[in-house]
Copies of this chain bind each other. A is one copy, B any other.
């Protein structure tokens, strides 16, 4: 069976146990791995590494991945105290807690910056790359599994490469990947993608076989995350967006089949795409990061012709469906390196419609995607900025309240800014939609309050705006001493509402 998985005789000698492979990792090393959302990340070697620390060895590392990875990597290494520094995104409960209590140093980065940071040497030397693979080709090429992420640049720049051949990943994945790598400036060329589905590279990651120091065979499946059921609020958000897009088509500002869709992670994002199944739109394409469950529905309904991403990010049911029908979905999907899936050049050229989720939005249209109450890291901004900033249309969705109504997601001033007023064109909640294009800040404020805020908070928001407008400067008026008082009140009383 391994014949097809390791297609070079000389590499078979490199097969070893995860524990042996993990010995290539030493204290203070920088490790770059495959994995994007809990898909296609290495599992056996990280667990073996965690074991060494649990057994008393002093070992701390810097970890760079594509995006979030599964518990065997982020979780296990955090609990074992191995994780010291982390880039660029995570969603693991234990690593999140370690970041928020200050024991893991975390830099939340635009995903489009990560691969080139590796190439540029901005992270320093990459000691070891650990890559989950479907197979190794005759030339030593590495065929990725359910995600690509930073693997091409990790392999290119690392001193040593460890490969985890995962036999739980079906061979039907072969051919779905399209690996194209950019040069460093001043030698960089245009990326020749003009349509979401264009294939411009190879189906494997080139790798000098000399660099491969270990091959570990495993069959641990991706530990995917559950997706919340599509609730009423998400449905309403989806409806507002579809109505808005229909009107853009009517006004001649969008083609009949729209432009390539990008949709963020999470339940709301999944629901928004899901809503398109019953819409009248046809021949849609997607140029996005993550291919979630609703994309399979759209493909099955014949609505989406091609979806480009850097990762399959299914739920548990979605994973079964994907793996069982891989040949079918592979015809409609391309998995690219994150350097390409999130590239500003391509996003702007194709004119993506970017739909991402906010934690909170302020009356002037600034968006917080990451830090709850200004300080508590949730996940990270992921690719939201890559797409928002370069989109044809940038849309932010949020449910208008959180924590049983004690938090308003529309606030006078966001407590942390990930996306500025200059980048956010449309805000949507279950209450309604605010199209901010062409408006001045005070006009944006009225529209966001009236269309998007929860009715419970509208009078308070209007009162803030009116009080701010009494001040001398009325461009983006604030009562600076009260701008963050809603957050302060929540932290003190447990509610943004006034007693």
Contact = CB atoms under 8 A, between A and B. Distances in A.
A108 to B, nearest CB: 7
A337 to B, nearest CB: 15
Interface in A60-111: 85, 87, 99-102, 105-110
Interface stretch (A136-144, A202-210, A319-327, A346-354): A346-354
Given A109-B422, A344-B348, A349-B190, A392 B252 contact: no
A213 interface: no
A435 to B, nearest CB: 10
A103 to B, nearest CB: 9
B475 A376 contact: yes
Contact of A107 (B123, B385, B417, B439): B439
Contacts of A58: none
Nearest to A62: B438
Q: How many copies does the complex hold?
A: 2
Contact of A350 (B106, B117, B188, B418): B188
Nearest to A124: B438
Contacts of A373: 473, 480
Contact of A417 (B99, B417, B477): B417
A443 interface: yes
Given A348-B345, A349-B190, A473 B100 contact: yes
A375 interface: yes
Nearest to A437: B122
A220 interface: no
A102 B475 contact: yes
A477 B107 contact: no
A474 B488 CA distance: 17
20 contacts: A100-B474, A100-B475, A102-B475, A107-B439, A120-B253, A122-B438, A123-B438, A124-B438, A185-B259, A186-B351, A344-B345, A345-B349, A374-B413, A375-B471, A375-B475, A375-B476, A376-B473, A389-B389, A480-B488, A481-B484
Given A121-B253, A418-B420, 9 more contacts: A99-B475, A101-B474, A108-B421, A122-B438, A185-B349, A185-B351, A189-B194, A190-B194, A374-B478
